[in-house]
């Protein structure tokens, strides 16, 4: 339940007599018109123009007068048409409220290092977005409970997945504001899997092993499940752990990585690597599996829809052959991490905190535009903000063949979870994620450097001190 007592007095909350003033694009000036009024908006990241009209922009007057500069840093989106929309959207808002907005995009892999450098220098951007929880920076960022409460007051309950990925129950602080997320399905080539008796793709990890091995032996086409120091490998490793009943921590934030279930998951990954993959997976970056799928060189990857969107323009034949599966079932359950979990942070050194918070509420109010211009990549944490989502998924405005190819994502919240599952994405979990302990564990065993038991024990020896360090500072729960 929202806690109105923590609300910043500078944040505007509509009452019965105050309501959002919805304006046409022209009312916000030419810059905004350029990014929201065109039909379609195909562009990079997708091969077809959209059918229908992009959502119009809503605008609410801030609760107090704003001024000065607002410096925004965020990732270079995997669907570039999002970034073509975002910059003029943000700058048009700034013009409307009297704030000079600058927007910088950089590769997602560079953002954590950039954050650390700006925090150390005590200067830099006012608000920063990343695609995974930034809990490791909690001591150096503003508590964003006030705007999270405000968003909940305006738009209803926040998705639990997003709350667990931005709220630390040990401190009661929101180290980040989380208005959106991205599911992490499997992307598979139907023609290849049909040939091994699985036209609807693998439903279980055993299906993946059996079918992937047969495809590699008969066609020379490998799987794309990474074991590298990049975000997709982080997510894939966690999905495999959870499906075997393993996890890094339990619901009480105690380290439980060294278990029979974890060893079994590592043993399984060894079989998957030897039967269906090559050494390439040890040196991938976040784009490698996308590129391999688009080029027709991979039979299956764990990813979002962005690779398929790119293939619609770059390789339409492959795009039409790409289909999707929900989380693979293992011996215990079927569960996947979110592919992207948006965390927006405001560092304590920020010089325009009020403007940063008001902009984040404006961005959330217009999340339907973020979903549209990301070509249905970005999903809302406040479902009320994108009432069109179910209809878009059932009849893709960007030319899916068949049109309902994405309809299965309508229940993605049922098989998706946060990276700290079954506990929260606390500060220790953030550091474990950021130091790639889990993909390194899988890789060392798969390369034969360590036995599965040794690899798991080594991971535990790295994870436990991280938890102990942050628990001593009161940032991780439990004893």
Q: Report strand pairing: 186-189 vs 322-325.
A: antiparallel
Give residue 37's pLDDT: 26
Taking each helix axis from N to C terminus, what angle separates 260-276 and 231-243, rounded to the nearest 10 degrees? 120
Q: Report strand pairing: 173-174 vs 167-168.
A: antiparallel
Burial grade of 292 (CB within 10 A; 0-12, 13-18, 19 or more): buried
Rounded CA-CA distance 192/219 in Å is 8
* 3-state secondary structure at position 129: strand
Give the tens place of pLDDT for each residue, 27-54.
Answer: 333 333 233 222 233 333 445 678 888 9
- All CATH 3.40.190.10 domain ranges of the chain, comma separated, are 4-182+340-413, 186-337+421-472
CA-to-CA separations, 9 to 6, 56, 321, in angstroms, rounded: 9, 28, 53
**pTM exceeds cut of 0.95:** no
Q: State the CB neighbour count (10 A cutoff) for residue 143.
A: 18
Give residue 48's pLDDT: 65
Structure tokens at 425: 């994405």
Give the tens place of pLDDT for each residue, 263-292.
Answer: 999 999 999 999 999 999 999 998 899 999
Helix extents (H) in 17-136: 30-36, 81-97, 111-121
In this prediction, the residues of the chain whose per-residue pLDDT falls under 50 are 1-46
- Taking a C-beta distance cutoff of 8 angstroms, is the pair 165, 425 a contact? yes
Superfamily for the 186-337+421-472 domain: Periplasmic binding protein-like II (3.40.190.10)
Question: DSSP letter string over 134-169?
Answer: -GGGGGGB---HHHHHHHHHHH-PPPHHHHHTTEET
Burial 29-64 (b: 16+ CB within 10 A, else e): eebbbebbbeebbbbbbbbbebeeebbbbebbebbe
Q: Which of 309, 369, 272 is nearest to 55 (CA)?
A: 369
Give residue 29's pLDDT: 31
Rounded CA-CA distance 30/143 in Å is 35
Give residue 47's pLDDT: 53
**Under CATH, which number does the domain 4-182+340-413 receive?**
3.40.190.10
């Amino acid at each position: 339940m929202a806690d109105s007592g923590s609300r910043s007095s500078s944040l505007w909350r509509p009452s019965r007599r105050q309501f959002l003033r919805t304006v046409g694009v022209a009312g916000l000036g030419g810059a905004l018109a350029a990014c929201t009024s065109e039909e379609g908006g195909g562009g990079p990241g997708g091969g077809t123009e959209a059918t229908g009209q992009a959502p119009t922009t809503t605008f609410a007057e801030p609760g107090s007068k704003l001024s000065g500069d607002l410096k925004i840093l965020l990732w270079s989106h995997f669907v570039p048409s999002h970034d073509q929309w975002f910059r003029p959207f943000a700058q048009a808002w700034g013009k409307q409220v009297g704030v000079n907005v600058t927007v910088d995009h950089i590769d997602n892999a560079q953002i954590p290092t950039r954050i650390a450098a700006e925090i150390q220098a005590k200067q830099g951007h006012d608000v920063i977005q990343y695609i995974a929880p930034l809990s490791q920076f909690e001591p150096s960022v503003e508590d964003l409970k006030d705007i999270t409460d405000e968003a909940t007051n305006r738009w209803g309950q926040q998705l639990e997945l997003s709350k667990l990925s931005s709220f630390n129950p040990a401190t009661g602080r929101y180290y980040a504001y989380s208005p959106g997320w991205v599911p992490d399905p499997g992307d598979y080539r139907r023609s290849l899997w049909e040939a091994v008796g699985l036209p609807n793709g693998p439903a279980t990890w055993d299906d993946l092993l059996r079918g992937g091995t047969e495809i590699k032996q008969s066609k020379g086409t490998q799987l794309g499940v990474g074991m590298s120091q990049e975000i997709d490998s982080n997510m894939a490793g966690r999905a495999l752990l959870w499906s075997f009943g393993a996890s890094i921590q339990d619901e009480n934030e105690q380290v439980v990585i060294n278990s029979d279930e974890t060893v079994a998951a590592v043993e399984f990954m060894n079989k998957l690597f030897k039967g269906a993959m090559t050494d390439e997976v040890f040196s991938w970056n976040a784009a490698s599996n996308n590129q391999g799928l688009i080029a027709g060189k991979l039979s299956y990857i764990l990813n979002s829809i962005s690779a398929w969107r790119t293939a619609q323009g770059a390789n339409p034949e492959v795009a039409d052959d790409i289909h999707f599966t929900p989380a693979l079932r293992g011996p215990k359950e079927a569960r996947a991490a979110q592919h992207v979990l948006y965390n927006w942070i405001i560092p304590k050194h920020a010089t325009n905190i009020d403007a940063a918070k008001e902009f984040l509420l404006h961005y959330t109010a217009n999340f339907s535009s973020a979903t549209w211009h990301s070509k249905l990549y970005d999903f809302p944490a406040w479902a009320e903000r994108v009432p069109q989502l179910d209809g878009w998924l059932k009849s893709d405005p960007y030319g899916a063949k068949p049109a309902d190819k994405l309809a299965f994502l309508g229940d993605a919240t049922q098989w998706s979870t946060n990276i700290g599952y079954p506990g929260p994405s606390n500060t220790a979990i953030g550091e474990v994620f950021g130091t790639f302990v889990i993909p390194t564990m899988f890789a060392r065993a798969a390369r034969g450097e360590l036995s599965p038991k040794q690899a798991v024990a080594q991971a535990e020896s790295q994870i436990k001190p991280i938890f102990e360090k942050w628990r001593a500072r009161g940032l991780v729960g439990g004893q």
